[in-house]
Structure 1
Amino acid sequence: MASAVAPWAPGLWRACNTLMAAFFGLAAVVQVNDPDAELWVVVYMIPAVLALLVGFNPLVTASGHPFVGNLIWKSMSTVHMLFCTLWAGGLAYHFLLHAKQSILNEEEGRELSGLVIVTAWMALCHSSSKNPGGGRMHLAIAVVITLFPLLSWVYIYMNKEMRSSWPTHCKTVI
């Protein structure tokens, strides 16, 4: 028996997508002085736009939705997830072989974290196609993923000692 969706669930799902769109947009903006900024801006702007579309209309991910945007949304998110997953795999391998510090103190570790967050969010949006309003477990995961990068950013901003070993281009944007 399928459980009924709580009346607040669709609003929470939309809010999570809107917050993640804002996070990804902010992540793109802070790349301005990164040596490979053009690449990272694209990596973050694609999920920012896709999450914003889900925030405006959760049905954009739904299978069988009579909207050509569904095909575009699904195709873009699938290709982006594949790209980010492959890149994250390469960074994880490099990080495991060469890391001297914790994941957030190594540039490759921060890049890996960003790719994992992008991939996790896009995968969660993809899975919402079966239930655009969101089931309980789906929403719980969405809230955790939404809060994680935002709280991490606050923690990193407040922890000046952690940022002391970062390259200059990472210190001057925050």
Structure 2
Amino acid sequence: MGEVCKEKKPWLSVIWQVCNAFMSFFFALATYVQINDPDAGSWMVGYGVPAVLCAVIGWKPHVTETLPWRRVADLHVMISSAVVAMLAWRLYKERITEILQQEEGSLSPFREFSGLMLTAVWLLLCRHSGRAPVGLLRVSTAVAITVFPFVAWLYYYINKELRSGWPSHCKTAL
């Protein structure tokens, strides 16, 4: 009687939305730190698109079933996969050994490879997540992937020795 019926969300759906909110924040942060990079524009788009796509999922999880969301996500995964393949080939061909310190010109093959892999894997994980309630396997994977970049960023932030060989534009954003 005049009472608004509130739909209870299963706990897995809530965790899924929280993971997307955190990944949106992470991708937005990754977008921001590209500002000092010589080729900032392309990398800002590379991280900014997933930031927006994840933010929308955090707000409205069923958006993954809409054609515009799927097309943008698929295009981003396709382009990211092509760039990842080129970077992987470069890592292999040049037999780069100090992969965490390498920075040739404006291209850091391993870090850029890892960042693009993260965006592609996350968007693939999100694909069709709005069809049915998210399951334990997807949510567990999401939690593990969500924790990883924050722990890695914290590790680099604490361990100044790892950053000592980086060019100045990589050291000044955050």
Counterparts of 1:11 and 1:102, CA distance in 2 = 40
The equivalent of 1:80 in structure 2 is 76
Structure 2's unaligned 5+ residue stretches are 1-8, 103-107
The equivalent of 1:153 in structure 2 is 153
The equivalent of 2:22 in structure 1 is 19
Q: Deviations over 1:72-125 (max 9, x none)?
A: 100000000000001001001101222544433222110001000000110000
The equivalent of 2:142 in structure 1 is 142
Q: Deviations over 1:12-35 (max 9, x none)?
A: 000000000000000000001100
The equivalent of 1:165 in structure 2 is 165
Superposition deviation, residue 139 in structure 1: 0.4
Give TM-score scaled by structure 2 length: 0.88
Structure 1's unaligned 5+ residue stretches are 1-5, 63-69
**Percent identity of the aligned residues?**
40
Counterparts of 2:39 and 2:95, CA distance in 1 = 20
Counterparts of 2:10 and 2:71, CA distance in 1 = 30
Equivalent positions of 1:11-160 (< 5 A) are 11-62=14-65, 70-106=66-102, 107-131=108-132, 133-160=133-160
Q: Deviations over 1:35-81 (max 9, x none)?
A: 0001111111100000000000110113xxxxxxx111000000000
Give TM-score scaled by structure 1 length: 0.88
Judge conservation of contact 2:62–2:131 (CA < 8 Å) in 1: no
- RMSD of equivalent CA atoms: 1.4
What is the identity, as a one-letter code, of the residue corresponding to 2:84? A
Judge conservation of contact 2:64–2:129 (CA < 8 Å) in 1: yes
The equivalent of 1:3 in structure 2 is none
Structure (1 or 2) with the larger CA radius of gyration: 2
Q: 1:119 to 1:99 in 2, by over 3 A?
A: same
